[in-house]
């Protein structure tokens, strides 16, 4: 009953539907709120998918098909300027110095009209880097676009098929996939016209289609994401050495993350607007154009809380409400 109340509280962000899942001792409890919503409702999980993609990369490291400290040029020689000095680890930890295409006005000038191919997106950020690889930290979805291309190159298969074969199917994540979707569509989402990502646009799907390549396009359920985090952080998915690499962090910017490992970070507040009452969690936020997700786990994978709502690009005043529901589920 408590989870139902927390889901109901999450609707205060202006959402019409919310699902929260808590997993502990191999059991998942789910609370829902909103008309026509049920525990199997699917959402766009945005950047939470970066953690899934990082797991795919580490699985390939376990197989000796990728090396974390090898340069990007070893796998994608001509993908972007500086590929000889940027390692896969730099991409995974956001220490590459590459610019974030989501911060480029030229991206939205084109992406709202049509779906951009990865090469076109990379061309938009081919200018001077923010800093030399390894000399700073700056969150950039560009890093994970490149990692998706690396996985496709090594596996010689589309990224969506690699995710299904190596993560979703073995773990029984039946509602987790990348576009083009084979399963049910995600719950319709919405964003306000005064949003910070694409001001003036309320069409969340038009924004999603170009940023959804690879990690940012993940569609799933809170229950599936909770199960994934349990296995990943509990050491069941990866070997001991790669699990250690997953958790080896660098200092982040303190806004979304305090420290960042390989596709997953630590934080004790949601964007500095909703502090935790029980200390740090490991996980990721998912800020898609029509949905918002919070995925939290203990470091050892012993407890997870995952919350998703069908409103995206939330204003600052909404985050304390979302945080109260997410931390309430996580802290118990």
Q: What is the pLDDT of residues 11-57, one digit of tens each?
A: 999 999 999 999 999 999 999 999 899 999 999 999 999 999 999 99
**Per the structure block, which two tokens stand in for 145?**
């676009």
- Average pLDDT of span 239-257: 97
Average pLDDT over residues 194-211: 66
pLDDT of residue 1 exceeding 60, the answer is no
Q: Which residues pair with 126 in a beta bridge?
A: none
Domain count, the chain: 1
* Cα 244 from Cα 325, distance rounded (Å): 30
pLDDT above 70 covers a percentage of the chain that reads 93
Q: How confident is the model at residue 191 (pLDDT cuts 50, 70, 90)?
A: confident
Q: In this structure, what token pair is assigned to residue 115? A: 């779906």
67: confidence class by pLDDT, cuts 50, 70, 90: very high
pLDDT at 203 over 80: no
Query: What is the pLDDT, as a whole number, of residue 62?
Result: 97
Is the whole-model pTM more than 0.85?
A: yes
Q: Which residues of 223-235 are buried (b: 16+ CB within 10 A; e: fewer)?
A: bbbbbbbbbbbeb
- The Cα 190–Cα 278 span in angstroms is 31
Name the β-bridge partners of 259: 251, 266
Mean pLDDT of the chain: 93
Q: What average pLDDT does range 147-166 have in this prediction?
A: 96
Q: Domain range spanning residue 171?
A: 2-331
Q: Across residues 72-80, what is the average pLDDT?
A: 96
Question: Is 94 in contact with 139 (CB distance < 8 Å)?
Answer: yes
CATH number at residue 156: 3.40.710.10
Inform me whether the pLDDT recorded for 120 exceeds 80. Answer: yes
């Amino acid at each position: 009953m408590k989870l139902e109340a927390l889901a109901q509280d999450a609707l205060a962000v202006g959402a019409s539907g919310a699902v929260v899942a808590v997993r502990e001792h191999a059991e998942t409890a789910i609370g829902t709120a909103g008309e026509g919503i049920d525990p199997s409702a699917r959402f766009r999980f945005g950047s939470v998918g970066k953690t899934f993609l990082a797991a795919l990369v580490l699985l390939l490291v376990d197989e000796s098909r990728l090396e974390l400290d090898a340069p990007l040029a070893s796998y994608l020689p001509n993908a972007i300027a500086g590929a000889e000095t940027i390692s896969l680890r730099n991409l995974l930890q956001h220490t590459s110095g590459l610019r974030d295409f989501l911060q480029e006005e030229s991206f939205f000038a084109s992406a709202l009209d049509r779906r951009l191919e990865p090469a076109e997106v990379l061309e938009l950020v081919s200018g001077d880097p923010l800093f030399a690889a390894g000399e700073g930290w700056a969150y950039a979805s560009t890093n994970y676009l490149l990692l998706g291309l690396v996985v496709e190159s090594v596996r010689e298969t589309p990224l969506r098929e690699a995710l299904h074969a190596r993560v979703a199917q073995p773990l029984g994540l039946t509602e987790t996939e990348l576009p083009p979707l084979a399963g049910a569509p995600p719950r319709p989402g919405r964003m306000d016209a005064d949003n910070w990502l694409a001001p003036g646009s309320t069409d969340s799907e038009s924004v999603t289609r170009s940023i959804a390549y690879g990690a940012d396009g993940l569609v799933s359920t809170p229950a599936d994401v909770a199960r994934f985090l349990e296995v990943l952080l509990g050491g069941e998915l990866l070997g001991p050495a790669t699990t250690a690499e997953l958790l080896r962090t660098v200092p982040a910017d303190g806004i979304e993350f305090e420290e960042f490992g390989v596709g997953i970070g630590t934080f004790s507040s949601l964007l500095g607007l909703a502090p935790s009452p029980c200390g740090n969690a490991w996980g990721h936020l998912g800020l898609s154009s029509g949905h918002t997700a919070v995925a939290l786990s203990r470091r050892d994978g012993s407890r997870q809380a995952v919350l998703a709502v069908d409103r995206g690009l939330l204003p600052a005043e909404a985050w304390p409400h979302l945080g109260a529901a997410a931390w309430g589920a996580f802290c118990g």
